[in-house]
Amino acid sequence: MISMLKINSNSLKYILFFFVGGFSYCGIETLFRGYSHISMLIAGGVCFLLIDYINQKCKHEIPLPGRMFLSSLAITAVELMAGLIVNLWMHLNVWDYSNQPLNAWGQICPLFSLVWFLLSAPAIWLDNYLQNVIGDSKIVE
Q: What is the DSSP letter of 68?
A: H
SS3 assignment, position 59: coil
Give pLDDT tens digits for 67-123.
999 999 999 999 999 999 999 999 999 999 999 999 999 999 999 999 999 999 999
Structural domain spans, the chain: 8-134
Name which of 5-9, 22-26, 135-139 the model is least confident about.
135-139
What's the rounded Cα separation, in Å, for the pair 128 and 72? Answer: 17
Question: In this predicted structure, what is the pLDDT of residue 140?
Answer: 45
